[in-house]
Every structure is written in C-alpha cells, then in structure tokens.
Amino acid sequence: MLYFDYAATTPVDLRVQARISHALAESFGNPSANYKLGKASKNKLTTARRRLKALLKLDEASDLYFTSGATEAINWALRSQAYRARDLGLGHHIVTTAIEHSAVDRVLLDLENKGFEVTRLQPNSNQQFSLEQFIEASKQTTIGWTVMAVNNEVGSILPIKELGQYAKQKGYWFHVDATQAIGYQMINPQDFPCTSFNGSGHKFYAPKGIGFLVYQAWNKEMILDPLLLGGDQEYTKRSGTENLPYILGMVEALELMDQGYHELQESFVELSTYFFQQLNQTGIEYQRNGDLVHHNNRIHSIWLKEKLASQVIIQLDMQDIYLSAGSACSAGSIKPSRVLTAYYPKNEARWRESVRISFGRYTTKNEIDQLIEAITKIYQ
C-alpha cells in the first residue's frame, strides 16, 4: 500500500495506540466521580489539558475545551461568537474566504439563513489573500472574521498574523480553522492572534473523534455559550463524560509532533523537492494549484492535464495507491471543488483534472518513485 492522503487523515501512531490502550485498561474511572478511581481520572484529565495548553503556548486566560473533532469545535465557535456579538448589538456581518472547509462554509450558510450577512473573498490575481481585502470588505456592521490557517486542498497558507492583529484593533472576533496547521506549524500568541481556534487529533496521528477548541475572547462580554447541557463537564460548557483515553492519546500525539517538529519539516521540503524533480523528468504536462509563494510543503494540488482526476484515482486505487481529487465524486457525477473554482473560476478542466498529494511522517522517496511510475503508466 502507498498512502499519499495524509491531509485527509493519518494512521494512529503506535506509541499513541499504546497510551490509549493503557488508559482504557487503567484509567476507566469517570472523572466526575468523587471516589479515588474517579479522582485519579480527573487528575489525568487536568494534567492533559495543562500539557496541551503548554504545547499550544496558551496563557492562563485562554480556555481549552475537548471536543469530538474540528467540525464540532468550528460549529461551536462560529455560532456562539456570531450570536453573542449580534445580541450585544455589535452587528451581523462576517467576512471569510471562498476556500474555507465545508465545516466553516456550511455554518456560515446557516447563519445567513438566520439573518447574518457573509462576504466570501476570492483569491486575488496572485492567488493570495491579503489584509487589504478583508479591510475593504468590512463595514460598520462587521462583527467577525474567520479564516483557515492552511488550506486542506491546495496547501495555501493564509496571513493569520496580519489578519488577527487588525481584527483585534477593530474589536472583531476572529476564528482560525487550524485543522491542517496543528502539529505542522508553530503556534504562539504573537504569530497566531485570534479569539478562537480548533484542532483535530486524526490530522496528527491520533484517533478520529477527538479534538479541541481554544477560546480567548478579546471582549469580556463575548462569553462562549454552552454547546451541550447536562452534567456540567468542560467547565459547564460541554456536558458529557470526557473521552479520557482519546484525550490522553491526542496530547501524546501532539507531544510527539513537537519533539520531531524540525526533522519533519525538513523531510517535507526534501520530499516535495524530490517529487517535483521526478515528475518533471517524466515530461507529463502539469501545473500546481493555489498560492505557490505562501505554501505548505506537505500538501500539493496538481492539475494533470487531459486526465480526469476521478479516473486517475480509480486506476491508482486498483494498485493500492491512495490519494484524493480536487473534486468530490458522488453518485457517478463530479461536484467541482469550491476551492478550485475560487482559484480558477474560468477553467473547468482544471476543476476536473486536479489531484491532491499529501505527505506524512512515513512517506519515503521510494514510495514517491512508485507513485511517479504509476502516474507515468496511466499517461502511456
């Protein structure tokens, strides 16, 4: 098997599996219970939260809540901040980009149906997004901005620092979808200013079904509304017995990412350089998608001209080689990617003929050689 879809999900690290297995056997007590077994679980939960906050370089004023993943965290953060700001009489307008993940876009669509106004910015002529675009799109009724740190389809990096600093000056809430950045980008308050951001464990070698939301409002009146009501877990904000084994596993996974951060970044640069060197030698006509100046070396979207992405993926799948397309396939029809249509609104062929290749911890040059060989045979 050759796996090139790490942006979609990652395998669970064996060390993380061991941590979870141990917790399932030894730390099964309910953290809300008042006897020793429960208190021991509560202590581990508290320690895990403290360790995760340290890894994310959060200060004491920041709140961190464990969730089932990024989608839940995004829904929670956007809905709470939008409604809270409107209830405070601050306005009803939100600015975002046209390349956001569906977890953001669909929440905003729902908010539009509830009376909010949303402006979706298109990439500029350099295939980039700028602070000036956001400033120009904002108005007196603007209450918040929401932007992804790294695009999941093409790997473009957005200017979070500049946007966050300006949003704070204006008093806008600012949510960052950091799903593709956590573990792969250094997070600190200076370079990552925002009122909220989220992460998802399965993007950095932890299991699916566990994630987190960080909330750090600039305005004390912008209180985070409870997501779930019940037993008052997660500081009364998200009721439900905490998934301690997966929480411990996620924190372990992020610690491992932190320990090997520089080596992994170097490997992504090396793998990316090697991949395109080898692809160039085949003579296959292709173009890269997205912002190539501000770009993550882990995720690459490529337009393979005159080859339908759906057919390429099927032929590779038959050889146990796995990557994904720039469009979603369902019921035998192609639904164009919102990201590619935003970047290339007049190039329908590019929407249908682009594939995504994403590298991970276990990717090797030998695997890249086999991928290049398989793609070359498809063209032959």
Q: Using an 8 Å Cβ cutoff, are 93 and 117 in contact? A: yes
Q: Residues with Cβ < 8 Å from 324, sequence gap 6 or more?
A: 5, 7, 8, 313, 355, 356
Active site residue 194: no
| Integer Cα distance of 190 and 85 in angstroms | 25
Distances (CA, A) of 225 to 63, 85, 113, 168, 237: 13, 12, 20, 21, 7
3-state class (DSSP) for residue 267: helix
Q: Using an 8 Å Cβ cutoff, are 106 and 71 in contact? A: no
Beta strand extents in 201-313 (DSSP E only): 211-215, 286-288, 299-304
Catalytic residue among 131, 137, 308, 329: 329
**Secondary structure (H, E, C), 154-184:** CCEECCHHHHHHHHHHHCCEEEEECCCCCCC
367 sits in which H/E element: helix 365-379
Residues annotated as catalytic (active site), given as ranges: 329
